[in-house]
Amino acid sequence: MQIAFHIGANCTDEDRLLKSILRNTDALLQEGISVPGPSRYRRLLRETIQSLGTEQTAPDTRDILIDAIVEDDNIKRIVLSNDNFISIPKRIFDHGVFYPQAETKVRGLHRLFPDDDIALFLGIRNPVTFLQETFQRADAAELQTYLGFMRPDELRWSDVIRRIKAAAPATPLTVWCYEDSPLLWEQLIRYQCGARPDTLLGGGLDLLSGLITPEGMALLQQTLVTDPPASDAARHEVVAEIWEAHPIQDAIDYELGLIDMPPNLIAHLTELYDRDVALIDEMDGVRLLLPFR
């Protein structure tokens, strides 16, 4: 069985990718690809992983889980998603470590499905807005209390990814930046689903519908049909040009009001994030999706 699991990170998705994928349930099922509803597996997997001790799992654990998650027969791939899988927001910085449970959760997933082909998917985000959003979700009183022993300039996604790869070195890991999601959305759907290249999948413009004016969306849809891009990079160019010409202005203005950050800190964290993304791009066993390539 192939298991494609979107494991987070917090506040980079909030089930929007899963909702787009679910639009294709029937077409995917014809190819043996199941997209179960999250209520069938999120609590089940969390509690099962939490119950794992040092002993070996029961021989029938994997089959019991698969039967509980998937209803259909002849399934070759399962598509799962949970942006709280490696941590809930209030536990992200426990023990002075950025996502301290990442390795434990990934190892636990492999213990439950030891002989299946697992692929992991992870969205990351600029620490400036990431902290704004997760701070609010965690209902924290102040930033330093939320961060504990960490400082904002110590957040490194590359460290989280390195530890995930150490826990599961042979497991493919696809990473992308939240800021690039509108351009990459169709790719993200396609890669996680694992459908045939010629399968028509809906939902690829879902994120853009709230960012581009109706006139721009009509032009974009017409352009993609009448003059289909020859590559992902060419599609990115088309989308970017129309987005730039027909933006919904209010949708691209982000208010940094939850945490008081001086402009120099915002610039510094953004620069560190850009360097971190470049480092991730060079990591073995990691596929970083970036626009225009």
Is residue 253 in a domain?
no
Give the pLDDT confidence score for residue 255 in this predicted structure. Answer: 64
Residue-wise pLDDT tens digits, 59-76? 899 999 999 999 888 999
Residue 10 located in a structural domain = yes
Domain that holds residue 92: 2-202+263-289
Give the number of domains in the chain.
1
Can you give the pLDDT at residue 59? 87
Is 251 inside a domain boundary?
no
pLDDT at position 252 is 62
pLDDT in tens, the chain (293 residues): 999 999 999 999 999 999 999 999 999 999 999 999 999 999 999 999 999 887 778 889 999 999 999 988 899 999 999 999 999 999 999 999 999 999 999 999 999 999 999 999 999 999 999 999 999 999 988 899 999 999 999 999 999 999 999 999 999 999 999 999 999 999 999 999 999 988 999 999 999 999 999 999 999 999 999 999 999 999 999 999 999 999 998 776 666 666 778 889 999 999 999 999 999 999 999 999 999 99
- Whether 210 is in a domain gets the answer no
Residue 207 domain-assigned (yes or no)? no
Instruction: Judge whether 209 lies within some domain.
Output: no
DSSP the chain: -EEEEE---TTS-TTHHHHHHHTTHHHHHTTTEE---GGGTHHHHHHHHHH--SSPPPTTHHHHHHHHH--SSS--EEEEE-TTSS--GGGTTGGG-SSTTHHHHHHHHHHHSTTSEEEEEEEE--HHHHHHHHHHHTT-SSHHHHHTT--GGG--HHHHHHHHHHHSTTS-EEEEEGGGHHHHHHHHHHHHHT--TT---S-TTTTGGGTB-HHHHHHHHHHHHHS--SSHHHHHHHHHHHHHHSB-HHHH-----SS---HHHHHHHHHHHHHHHHHHHT-TTEEEE-TT-
Q: What is the CATH number of the domain that holds 267?
A: 3.40.50
In a domain, 85, yes or no: yes
- On whether residue 127 sits in a domain, the answer given is yes
